[in-house]
Amino acid sequence: MSRAPARAPRAKAPAAPKPARPRVALVVKRSAFRAWIEERRDARMRKLLAAGDPTVARVRASHEEHERTVRAVTRALRKVRAEVHEIGDPTRPFDPGDVDLVITVGGDGTLLATSHSIGDAPILGINSAPSHSVGFFCGARGADEVEDILARAIAGELKRAVLTRMQVSINGAVVAARVLNDALFCHASPAATSRYILELGGVVEEQKSSGFWIGPAAGSTAAQRSAGGRVLPLTSPKLQLVVREAYAPHGERYRVQRALIAPGGRLVVRSKIHDAKIFVDGPGEVVDVHFGDVVELTQAAQPLTLLGISAKRRWG
């Protein structure tokens, strides 16, 4: 009786490649309670807290809410098996590396500071203490939203808004390449007059004022608006100039006090004071400007991609 030929053993199918772990740069705010009470052990702040002083009433509550959100973010990142690159101090320039996503845990200030070091990577802001802060640029609010929003961000499912940024140069050298909110040009002393020659759209004008604000649409709801400017659509490509407290003692009126600058346009300013300053996106980044320096302000080459934010989002 003949036997059937033996069958060759089946070759094993190649194992499916493991999905790449998402690479995330994580920036976590240091709360005021942690910075002043736990780390610096500031005697005055501790005394005010112990006395229940109203000036520090929110410090502890905000810290506790912030910490709950930080723990939720840590759990969510572990759940999606993210490869996390933690950033210590976003106010100092840093290289986020080749990441898929940047996450900030704090408020608008944390996101703003972080944005100066971010090029093409999308950024997701998580408002860690929504009971105590606005977080207009944040796509998630508090601990309860973290897990769902973060998973959708990793999957590329969140809506996004692409925001114009501004570049500042002095004497041809770039001093700020990614301004998101605004820049304030003024004298070092808030009580002193700012003197400068302004050039825009063919108009050259010597002015005296308290300085001027200029920035992209993302900052138009803040200082620009308070100084009399317009609120622009969030994704508008225009820059807005707003002169503060223009001083024309002989009744003349300056031609350029408020202006919108289209892409490709530029504002050129020649300083007529020795101790001028440019404050970039708040008080943290300050650039010195001297007599005769030429400042140029233009649209930046790199916009910022914000996740969880609609391009039609309105202030309010």
- Angle, alpha carbons 76-159-218 (nearest 5°): 105
The widest CA-to-CA distance across the chain, in whole angstroms, is: 123
> pLDDT (tens digit, 9 = 90+) per residue, 152-185?
999 999 999 999 999 999 999 999 999 999 999 9
Neighbouring-strand partners of residue 24? 84, 101
CATH superfamily of 166-300: Probable inorganic polyphosphate/atp-NAD kinase; domain 2 (2.60.200.30)
What are the backbone angles phi and psi of residue 63, rounded to the nearest 5°? -60, -45
Nearest to 286 by CA among 175, 177, 190: 175
Contact yes or no for 306/136 (Cβ under 8 A)? no
DSSP, collapsed to helix, strand or coil, labels residue 113 as helix
Given the DSSP bridges, would you call strands 304-307 and 266-271 parallel, antiparallel or unpaired? unpaired
| Tokens read off for 135 | 């977080």
Q: What are the sequence ranges of the domains in the chain?
A: 23-158, 166-300
pTM of the model: 0.88
pLDDT in tens, 66-81: 999 999 999 999 999 9
| 68: CB partners within 8 A, 6+ apart | 142, 143
Q: Which CATH architecture has domain 23-158?
A: 3-Layer(aba) Sandwich (3.40)
Token look-up 């112990």 returns 50
Could you list the active site residues? 108
Percent of the chain with pLDDT over 70: 93
Whether 267 contacts 169, CB under 8 Å: no
Looking at the predicted structure, is the pLDDT value of residue 260 above 90? yes
